[in-house]
């Protein structure tokens, strides 16, 4: 392992980045939570992003795609409380948000990435931004990453932030990230927003390539409820202040950078899954022995998305038949007669199925294992070398309660 996680790391841990988040009142004037934030680099950055594949997209997504066409950016402005989606004046408001950020940061409007999250179909008020953005610009600091992470939370119960460091050409390089996402998460690049910053010197093309690699085995392997958001955005800025030789090809430095970015993204993906709306448990599905990596991914995702499996995990019920059922309808090329299943947690590991057939096991021991707050469903397909992990959570009564009155 060529990287190390940084204690209390966040998006502003890399050199040259500042951030802040404030109470703006986007959803309600009497709110007590931070809901508008900005992140900025002291110099122009190479940049890359991936976005939702939902055909219904926020105006923020459309505008950010346009601003990133040249592969550069210097700042991010984002809000919670309103998704700015399906609104007649959505693009006008998104452009105004970028304009306010640019004016107060002294940068070009086209170098601002914009993102929003919250209720769909309600006009987003611009007045909170007109008041808050000048304030944010004045208080942005190296220590503002955690406030920025808080400002993008909706039904999240905890902030998601982390950072890693590693060496390139004798230089210490850092990548930091924040994310939000609790419900409407079935990422296919939620509502999922994630912003990463790095002081690595890396070209826009290589940054985009590294991001796509990382996303495929991290964020895109998360599902909370099967709904793909209209606003999913994952953006990364690289300002080069670490002083390493710029990565311009898929060389060894590229591999080290990508491995570190992937580890960071996987860490954030687990945080998202564990904080699913109403969730009490992080569920990891680990698949090995598939014919291909693609088959492993499909199998893992099918299990993690199964409402019946998720409900069984909530009840700490070792109902392995539901796991096989999900594998069976996954559409993957699997020989069910070769499938082994086990449940694992910090309380132990227990095999429940061998060669597609149930085996004798202690229900009491299985219950103890499944009562833990992080559970791994271990699947061995015994048919090749493909492997993958997917991340999800249990399905609880509170999920329905939260989404039954989300708008109020």
Quick: pLDDT tens for 338-358: 999 999 999 999 999 999 999
Average pLDDT over residues 206-225: 89
Q: Topology of 3-272 in CATH?
A: 3.60.70
pLDDT of amino acid 223? 77
User: Which pTM does this prediction carry?
Assistant: 0.89
Q: Does pLDDT of 189 surpass 60? A: no
Residue 309: φ, ψ to 5°: -65, -45
C-alpha distance across the termini of the chain, in Å: 46
Q: In this structure, is the dihedral angle defined by the CA atoms of residues 151, 83, 238 and 388, taken in order, positive or negative? A: positive
Q: Given pLDDT bands bounded at 50, 70 and 90, which one contains residue 118?
A: confident
Pair 166, 66: CB distance under 8 Å: no
Quick one: how far is CA 399 from the chain centroid? 19
Provide the pLDDT confidence category of residue 133 given band limits of 50, 70 and 90. Answer: very high
User: Which range in 42-51, 114-123, 151-160 is most confidently predicted, on average pLDDT?
Assistant: 42-51
Catalytic site includes residue 230: no
Whether pLDDT at 226 is above 90: no
Using DSSP bridges, classify how beta strands 3-5 and 17-22 pair: parallel, antiparallel or unpaired.
unpaired
Query: What would the two tokens of residue 159 be?
Result: 């902030």
For the domain made up of 282-404, the CATH class stated in words is alpha beta
Q: What is the C-alpha separation between 238 and 48, in angstroms, rounded?
A: 9
Helix (H, G, I), strand (E, B) or coil at 66: helix
Residue 198 has pLDDT above 80, yes or no: yes
Do 3-272 and 282-404 fold alike per CATH? no
Distance CA 362, CA 189 (A): 41
Give strand ranges (E) for 61-122: 72-79, 112-116
Residue 206: both structure tokens together = 């290589």
- Residues paired with residue 75 on neighbouring β-strands, in sequence order: 40, 112
Average pLDDT over residues 158-168: 96
Catalytic-labelled residue, pool 13, 191, 258, 262: 191
Per-residue pLDDT band for 402 (boundaries 50, 70, 90) equals low
What percent of the chain lies above the pLDDT cut of 90? Answer: 81
pLDDT band at 395 (very low <50, low <70, confident <90, very high): confident
Cα–Cα distance list, 361 to 73, 287, 321, 358, 364 (Å): 56, 21, 14, 9, 9
Which pLDDT score, from 0 to 100, does residue 55 have?
84
Percentage of residues in the chain having pLDDT higher than 70? 94
Sign of the torsion formed by the C-alpha atoms of 120, 126, 131 and 133: positive
Residue 229 has pLDDT above 90, yes or no: no
**For the chain, domain boundaries:** 3-272, 282-404
- pLDDT, position 289: 98
């Amino acid at each position: 392992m060529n990287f190390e996680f940084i204690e209390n790391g966040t998006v502003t841990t890399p050199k040259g980045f500042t951030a802040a988040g404030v109470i703006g009142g986007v959803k309600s004037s009497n709110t007590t939570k931070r809901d508008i934030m900005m992140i900025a680099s002291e110099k122009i950055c190479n940049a890359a992003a991936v976005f939702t594949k939902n055909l219904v997209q926020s105006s923020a997504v459309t505008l950010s795609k346009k601003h990133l066409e040249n592969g550069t950016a210097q700042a991010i402005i984002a809000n919670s409380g309103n998704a700015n989606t399906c609104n007649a004046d959505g693009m006008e408001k998104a452009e105004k948000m970028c304009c306010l950020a640019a004016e107060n940061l002294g940068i070009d409007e086209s170098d601002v990435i914009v993102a929003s999250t919250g209720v769909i179909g309600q006009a987003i008020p611009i007045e909170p931004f007109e008041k808050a953005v000048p304030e944010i610009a004045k208080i942005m600091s190296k220590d503002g990453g955690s406030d920025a992470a808080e400002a993008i939370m909706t039904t999240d119960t905890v902030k998601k932030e982390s950072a890693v460091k590693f060496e390139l050409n004798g230089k210490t390089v850092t990548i930091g990230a924040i994310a939000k996402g609790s419900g409407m998460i079935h990422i296919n690049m939620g509502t999922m927003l994630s912003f990463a910053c790095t002081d690595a010197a890396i070209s826009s093309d290589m940054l985009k390539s590294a991001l796509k690699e990382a996303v495929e085995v991290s964020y895109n392997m998360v599902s909370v409820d099967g709904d793909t958001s209209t606003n999913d955005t994952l953006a990364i800025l690289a300002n080069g202040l670490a002083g390493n030789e710029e990565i311009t090809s898929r060389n060894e430095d590229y591999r080290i950078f990508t491995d570190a970015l992937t580890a960071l993204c996987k860490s954030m993906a687990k945080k998202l899954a564990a904080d699913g709306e109403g969730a009490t448990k992080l569920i990891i599905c680990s698949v090995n022995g598939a014919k291909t990596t693609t088959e492993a991914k499909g199998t893992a995702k099918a299990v993690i998305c199964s409402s019946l499996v998720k409900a069984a995990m909530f009840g700490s019920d070792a109902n392995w038949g539901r796991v096989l059922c999900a594998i069976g309808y996954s559409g993957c090329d699997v020989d069910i007669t070769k499938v082994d299943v086990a449940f694992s947690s910090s309380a132990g590991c227990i095999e429940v199925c061998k060669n597609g057939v149930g085996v004798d096991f202690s229900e009491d021991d299985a219950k103890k294992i499944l009562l833990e707050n992080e559970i791994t469903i271990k699947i061995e397909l015994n048919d090749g070398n493909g492997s993958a992990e997917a991340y999800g959570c249990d399905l609880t009564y509170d999920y329905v309660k939260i989404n039954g009155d989300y708008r109020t």
